[in-house]
Each structure stands twice: as structure tokens, then as C-alpha cells.
Amino acid sequence: MAPLWPAVAGAVGLWLVLVVAALRRPGAHWRRALPAAIGVGVLLAIVAVFALPPLTRSSMAEMAYWVDWANLLAIAAAVGAVGLAFAWPLVAMRGRRAG
């Protein structure tokens, strides 16, 4: 398995660029964008619950123990949180420009 640090560093760098761009954009509506970004995060978490077992060569039928479910739900929540983190500045920038 290849080291994941370059991918993580690239994702963090991209997120920082998005946040700085949204902060510099006049008319960005952070507060109004939050519900939509939460919706994106929840949708991604739900998709992750069903997509992760096949990606790990498993299935929902093999989820026998509570630990399996706890791990699956924790990973899906992390996927949703990352989706929210990327969606929030993008949705905030969607607002009208001042001027």
C-alpha cells in the first residue's frame, strides 16, 4: 500500500485554496450555505455506508458484530465530514457578487 500522506496533503491544500477563495469572494454566504453543505455531507455518508463494504471485499451480510457496524458508521461519518468540509466553501461562493 502506497503512503497516503501525499494524497492527504493535496486534499488539505485544495481545501485551503477553496476556503481562501471563498473568504476573498465578496458576497459569500457562509451561514446560508451551511444547511446545503450538511445535506451534501449526509448524502455522502449514506452512500458510503453502502459503498464501503464492497470496496473492502465484504458485504452487508457479513456485518455480524456491533464492532463491524461501529467501524462502518464511523468511516461513513468521516466521509460525510470531508464532503461537508469541501462542499461548504463551494456552496458559500455560489452567492451573488457584491457590486
Question: In the chain, what are the domain boundaries?
Answer: 5-92
User: What angle in degrees, to the nearest 10, is found between the helix axes of 66-92 and 30-55?
Assistant: 140
Answer yes or no: is pLDDT of 8 > 50.
yes
Phi, psi of 92 (to 5 degrees): -65, -35
pLDDT score of 57:
85
Per-residue confidence (pLDDT) for residue 98, from 0 to 100: 47
pLDDT on residue 38: 97
* CA atoms of 26 and 4, how far apart (whole Å): 35
What digits encode the pLDDT tens for the residues 19-66? 999 999 888 888 999 999 999 999 999 999 999 999 888 888 888 889
